[in-house]
Amino acid sequence: MIVLSKPDSKEATMNLTTTASAPESGGRLSLDGSAELSTNCYFVGNGNRAEVLWSRDDFETLCGRMHNGNAPNDFLMVYRDDSGAPKFAKAHRADADKRVRWTWNSLTGSAKIKTGIGFYPRDKNGRTSWGAIDCDAHNQKDRMRARDLAMKAFQLLVRNPDFWLILGTSGESGGWHLFVFSEQLHPCEEWARLLREVADKIGSPVTKGVLEIFPSDSRGAFAIRAPGTWNPKDDSFGLIAFDNATRNLVSLPKERVISLGIRSTRRDKKVSLPIGEKAHLGLYRGEFGEWATDFAITAQRTRHEKLAQLVGKAFFQTGIAVARRNAEMQHAEANPVPATPLSEHIAEFESLWEGMHTQWRAKLSPREEESLASLTTDNEREAFRILRNWSRTDKTGKADFKVHCKSLGQRLGMTLQGASALRKRFCALGIMRETAP
């Protein structure tokens, strides 16, 4: 049992007007526990141009991750030759960093000559932290098939909170690309197995010209264009329909993003991203998963109200990353589809969360402010907020209350071991003390 001094009044809700390094290679990639397609449809918003959704830094971070720490000239050049024919060629002397900037200028319309860029989902050790599904379209009938396959694959993969997705069109041709990112590097063979499993479940085996996967079973590496970039075949740009990847990639520890990026000066060093056992944890959506329905958007003009209710509940129950993921899922699962795009939905989430935080800080006692100031990481500060709320909502009427490390870890999106370490640190700092084993 853990004890904190408890105030006279209870505080449950308010009215609204980084982690240790992981092993270099991850374990088995998998879908969630559901064996069949969900009966609930995940709706995606209207497609947007990449330069509307992302900043230059967002795009460079995304490309840095997709480059997989490979050599500066190990990428796919996308262009048209002097005769106007589309070309997709492996770079030899070109530099990826410069090509990324040129591609961004093509997106924003400031490049004199359009160009694009693609990447190989494989590093020199045969690992990658991302994969992709390409649903091709060659005529009007193919367009409907490609969209249907992409949506079904999206439905399967979006269930797993440890996958970050970007779904969008490949251009005006009607094809679709679904990119899947994870925090950790996994063997390419494991990614290929996962993507084959997805293809099998949506009823379309991997077939060239219909549904292709990256990485594939072929020993030769094939590249795919970066999301939203220029397609020289039809002189169009892909549109982004769903994205919860770039925000997560940008929020990763800076040094770890750079170490896998095209600007890395340590390309010969084996690195991976922090996740530990996190890949096996499910997204916390209330103790019994009730947030998925309690805060579901099921009618027009209710999106902001439901978001505010979600933030009001989640602020005292989870860390901001877990709450943000709930907000993303809330938008993805909305029926009818909100007119407000995901980017604005999340911007409202951030504003509401900041308002809650300001009100919460104003209610801290001097002693609590001192305890909070002694904490050094975001996880510690978020755990303090959650535990403070638990101490005030315990229904036993006693001075102490239970701290379940597994529940705390789920609410913070961290491992059981990480949550246990937080509890021990709070005791060492004198913020809490153990009253029973």
- Model pLDDT for residues 195-244, shown as the tens digit of each residue: 999 999 999 999 999 999 999 976 557 999 999 999 999 999 999 999 99
* 254 and 306 share one domain: no
Q: How many CB atoms lie within 10 A of CB 430?
A: 9
Q: Are residues 396 and 297 in the same domain?
A: no
Lowest mean pLDDT among 39-43, 82-86, 108-112, 159-163: 39-43
Alpha-helix runs per DSSP H in 19-139: 50-53, 56-66, 96-108
Asked if 187 and 244 sit in the same domain, the reply is yes
Are both 349 and 377 inside the same structural domain? no
Q: Are residues 341 and 374 in the same domain?
A: no
Asked if residue 351 is part of any domain, the answer here is yes
Structural domain of residue 370, as residue ranges? 2-14+362-434
Same domain, 180 and 122: yes
Give yes or no: residues 219 and 348 share one domain: no
Q: Is residue 247 part of a domain?
A: yes
Whole-number pLDDT of residue 264: 31
Residue-averaged pLDDT of the chain? 81
60 in a structural domain: yes
Q: Residue 232: give its domain's CATH number.
A: 3.90.920
Question: Sorting pLDDT into bands at 50, 70 and 90, what band is 428?
Answer: confident
Report whether 235 contacts 115 (CB < 8 A): no
Same domain, 289 and 147: no
Average pLDDT over residues 294-310: 95
Torsion angles phi and psi, residue 179, rounded to 5: -100, 135
Task: Please indicate, yes or no, if residue 264 is contained in any of the structural domains.
Answer: no
In angstroms, the first-to-last Cα distance of the chain is 6
Residue 165 has pLDDT above 90, yes or no: yes
Give per-residue pLDDT as tens, 104-161: 999 999 999 999 999 999 999 999 999 999 999 988 788 999 999 999 999 899 888 8
Q: Are residues 352 and 367 in the same domain?
A: no
Among 356, 383, 415, which residue terminates a domain? 356
Mean pLDDT of 299-314: 96
User: Residues 225, 161: one domain?
Assistant: yes
Q: How many domains does the chain have?
A: 3
Residue 35 lies in a domain: no
Q: Measure the CA–CA gap between 195 and 201, rounded to whole angstroms.
A: 10
Cα-based angle 394, 397, 403 (whole degrees, multiple of 5): 35
Does 172 fall in a domain?
A: yes
Angle at alpha carbon of residue 350, lines to 344 and 352, rounded to 5°: 105
Pick the more confident residue, 337 or 169.
169
- Bridge partner residues of 224 (DSSP): 119
- Is residue 268 in a domain? no
Consecutive H or E run containing 400: strand 400-401
Q: Please report whether residue 20 resides in a domain.
A: no
User: Could you say which of 356, 387, 410 is where a domain stops?
Assistant: 356
236-272 as b/e, with b when 16 or more CB fall inside 10 Å? ebbbbbbbbbbbbbbebeeebbbbbbbebeebeeebb
Where a domain ends, among 356, 381, 403?
A: 356
